[in-house]
């Protein structure tokens, strides 16, 4: 289970929001909405342990009963995808996905997992391509796959499907939902797309 308790964020001395609380159970998906500039992405970055410069945060983050508020980002076991997928330009698509896999997954098993994931995302012919040669939608799919392959205990998604055309969007949503069910993890989505309301297993959460 994922919990935020009494969260207050301010940016460069400008208050964003205060006294924000949120709980998401395993397997649940919660959609978060707010006005532009309200601090949605800043909140996700703080949860992931990579806060924006100038951000001042108060409150606590709990994941599976553990307070991770001050735990280093690399030890939080959180998968995150921003609206910009932030792929490594010097690595191939397969190598980018490999970054998300545990170091214990090696050799043939590693190659099979990457191959199967690319097939499910309709990217099977792009294994050796570099990220800059991909379309925006293709980059988004790779970023999403990488976040899921890390086997996170919490998944944070910032406008995850906004750059995908309708057919690809539907196939990626099907894949993501199946992975969420398999991993049985809480998911927090930030989105302005009204279609994403259908993904939420709880009422939409809003803050100002």
Is residue 208 in a domain? no
Mean of the pLDDT values across residues 154-179? 83
**pLDDT tens-digit profile of 28-64?**
999 988 777 778 888 999 999 998 888 899 999 999 9
pLDDT given for residue 59 in this prediction:
95
Instruction: Indicate whether 6 belongs to any domain.
Output: yes
Number of domains making up the chain: 1
Query: Residue 6's CB: how many other CB atoms inside 10 A?
Result: 11
Residue 8 lies in a domain: yes
204 against 20, higher pLDDT:
20
Domain that holds residue 49: 2-202
Is there a contact between 128 and 93 (Cβ–Cβ < 8 Å)?
yes
Pick 120 or 130 by higher pLDDT: 130
168 belongs to a structural domain? yes
Inform me whether the pLDDT recorded for 203 exceeds 70: no
- Asked whether residue 207 is assigned to any structural domain, the reply reads no
Q: Residue 123 sits in a domain of what CATH number?
A: 3.40.50.300
Does residue 74 form part of some domain? yes
Residue 106 banded pLDDT, cuts 50, 70, 90: confident
In the three-class reduction of DSSP (H, G, I as helix; E, B as strand; rest coil), residue 194 is classed as helix
DSSP, res 173: H
């Amino acid at each position: 289970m994922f919990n935020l308790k009494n969260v207050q964020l301010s940016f460069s001395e400008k208050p964003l929001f205060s006294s924000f609380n949120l709980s998401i159970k395993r397997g649940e998906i919660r959609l978060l909405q707010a006005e532009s500039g309200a601090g949605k992405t800043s909140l996700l970055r703080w949860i992931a342990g990579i806060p924006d410069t100038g951000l001042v945060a108060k409150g606590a983050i709990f994941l599976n009963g553990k307070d991770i508020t001050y735990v280093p980002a690399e030890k939080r076991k959180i998968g995150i995808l921003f609206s910009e997928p932030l792929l490594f330009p010097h690595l191939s698509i397969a190598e980018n996905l490999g970054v998300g896999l545990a170091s214990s997954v090696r050799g043939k098993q590693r190659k099979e997992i990457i191959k199967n994931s690319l097939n499910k995302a309709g990217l099977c012919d792009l294994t050796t391509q570099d990220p800059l040669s991909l379309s925006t939608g293709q980059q988004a799919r790779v970023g999403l796959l990488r976040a899921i392959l890390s086997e996170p205990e919490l998944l944070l998604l910032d406008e995850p499907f906004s750059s995908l055309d309708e057919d690809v969007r539907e196939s990626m949503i099907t894949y993501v939902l199946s992975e969420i069910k398999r991993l049985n993890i809480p998911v927090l989505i930030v989105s302005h797309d009204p279609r994403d309301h259908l993904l939420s297993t709880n009422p939409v959460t809003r803050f100002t």
